[in-house]
Amino acid sequence: MTLAESARPDSAARPADPRRLAALVLLCAANFMVILDAQSVIMGVPVIAADLGLSPVEAQWVLSANLLTFGGLLLLGGRAADLLGRRKLFMAGTALFLLVSLLSAVATAGPLLLAARSLHGVSAALMAPTALAILTDTFPEGRPRNRALAIWSGIAALGATIGLLLGGALLDWFGWQSLFYVNVPVAVLMLVLSPVLLRESRDTSAHRTFDVAGAVLSTAALVLLVYVLVEAPAWGWASFRTLGLGAVFLVLTATTIVVERRSAAPLLPARLFRSATVLGGNVLTVLIAMLAFGSSVVLSQYSLGVLGYTPIVFGLSQSAMPVAAVLGAYAGQAALARLGIRPVAVTALLLMAVGSALLTGLSPDSGYLTSVLPGLVVFGLGLGIGPVVLAAAALKGVTTADAGIASGINVAAFQVGGALGVAVVSTVIATTMAATPGPAGALAGFHTGMLVCAGIGAAGVVVAFFLLKNAKRGQLAAVPRVH
């Protein structure tokens, strides 16, 4: 058996499941709801804080508590799905998502809401990587999986904008509790349909035990990293607290590597990172997420703060981006089959860099059609292409046994990249505004923020060119299958 054959996922050898299109709709619905919830709650934080009497720090933790548990538990959730069963863990995450949505909706005090949002992150850490792992197992590598990933990415892009529109409408008409109640019927439907549409899959290899030490260390490292990224803009990047916790993170990471190398059944198998394609896909996912979240910070603060847009108007003004992202996702999967990973990844990052550069000219006097729309469309095309090609790269050659942890790594890369993008861009904006007070400083801060995004995109082009150099059409790097 050749290396390429041994690297081929088990799903490639099975006949196509006739339910797989319906299963894809269900999996995309789960991804859609996770993103919809996150975006709509962002819109609702000011109203929630006023109603529950939350301080500015407590209000921030309505978002950060979810981000912390979501990002910190992704790897553990992915590996647990591999060992215990992906459908089982997906349904457990969905059931928890239903419960915490109800708890959030009936919360009458800040601590209860913050506890519910922390548990929401746990549910998302079970749902998101498990759904992607089930998709990987259901659709064989190549054109079928690329098309499925294109739909997955396109639905995610729509969820981001619909979250802004729906969140604004629900807040205006029914109050902030409706942001959580809307999740309930969808979660119930997913629980009913999952046993019917989703096939159970798990790691059938000999090692059916948890790597407890690796799980604890890697989870602690991820939680600490996300926490530092969330708080660093307020603490200061050069503060003792930021640098001290950063050093602790490095120690935890180094210890995790040593423990994983010695483990008989590691949480993070080294074989996953022997492929430059898999490694490159995850590194570039971090950069794509930095661009996506960083640009969102600039555009939302500029539109709501400088232009005075209402949430609904802001959502409508940004709608061109997800529409372009849907088109980009489908174009990306078609180009992926013809050109291979590296050219498509370079194109995606280049489009996002150019789109960011076009948006550096924002000003209150700018016309939407001439100064804003072109940048949103170009950026959106790259945003649609990027996740498709990078998910394909990050899951290339991954066996069925490792589908959950590989998906968890990729989703974790996106979450960490998002937190890093928000932290970096927020710091740049604040620093620039402090150096130049007044309206001119605010505008300069937003311009500099988009310029940083353009620089991240340009750096991503270079990284993609070198890290994905072996990911050619018909000659993609393989991951050895080792049990």
Question: Nearest to residue 335, comparing CAs of 128, 149, 116, 115?
Answer: 149
Q: How far is CA 7 from the centre of its chain?
A: 26
Residue pair 97/185 in contact (Cβ under 8 Å)? The answer is: no
Residues 6+ apart with CB under 8 A from 234: none
Most confident range, picked from 99-103, 194-198, 295-299, 307-311: 99-103
Structure tokens at 404: 């959950």
Per-residue confidence (pLDDT) for residue 436, from 0 to 100: 81
Rounded CA separation 234/161 (Å): 28
Rounded CA separation 138/431 (Å): 48
pLDDT at 342 over 60: yes
Residues 464, 466, 470, 473: is their CA dihedral positive or negative?
positive
Kindly state the percentage of the chain with pLDDT values over 90.
23
Between helix 341-358 and helix 439-467 the angle, nearest 10°, is 170
pLDDT at 355 over 80: yes
Mean pLDDT, residues 247-270 taken together: 83
Structure pTM?
A: 0.77
Per-residue confidence (pLDDT) for residue 245, from 0 to 100: 94
Rounded CA separation 76/391 (Å): 19
Q: How far is CA 107 from the centre of its chain?
A: 27
Mean pLDDT, residues 89-94 taken together: 93
**Residue type for 268, please?**
L
Question: Nearest to residue 227, comparing CAs of 416, 452, 435?
Answer: 416
Q: Specify the long-range contacts of residues 202-207, CB closer than 8 Å, at least 24 apart.
A: 202/81, 202/82, 202/83, 202/84, 202/85, 202/86, 203/82, 203/83, 203/400, 203/401, 203/402, 203/404, 204/401, 205/401, 205/483, 206/483, 207/264, 207/265, 207/483
According to DSSP, residue 397 is labeled T
Does the domain at 269-483 match CATH 1.20.1250.20? Answer given as: yes
Rounded CA separation 422/71 (Å): 14
Selected residue with higher pLDDT from 115 and 371: 115
Per-residue confidence (pLDDT) for residue 482, from 0 to 100: 29
Q: Where are the domains of the chain?
A: 17-164+174-198, 211-266, 269-483
Which of 126-140, 200-214, 389-403, 411-425 comes out lowest in average pLDDT? 200-214
pLDDT digits (tens, 9 = 90+) for 125-150: 888 888 888 888 888 877 788 788 88
Rounded CA separation 69/206 (Å): 30
Q: What is the chain's Cα-based Rg? A: 21
pLDDT digits (tens, 9 = 90+) for 93-118: 999 999 999 999 999 888 999 999 99
* Upper half-sphere CA count for residue 7 (Cβ side, 13 Å): 19
Q: How big, in percent rounded to 5, are the helix, strand and coil portions of the chain?
A: 80, 0, 20
Question: Nearest to residue 457, comparing CAs of 341, 269, 290?
Answer: 290
Rounded CA separation 253/393 (Å): 24
Residues 244, 246, 249, 250: is their CA dihedral positive or negative?
negative
Distances (CA, A) of 4 to 271, 334, 471: 14, 23, 13
Does the domain at 17-164+174-198 match CATH 3.40.47.10? Answer given as: no
pLDDT at 36 over 70: yes
Judged by phi (left if over 0) then psi (alpha if -120 to 50, else beta), residue 297 lies in alpha
Structure tokens at 276: 């430059």
pLDDT at 161 over 50: yes
Residue pair 275/482 in contact (Cβ under 8 Å)? The answer is: no
Question: Nearest to residue 46, comparing CAs of 158, 165, 167?
Answer: 167
Mean pLDDT of the chain: 81
Rounded CA separation 267/174 (Å): 44
Question: Nearest to residue 424, comparing CAs of 252, 242, 159?
Answer: 242
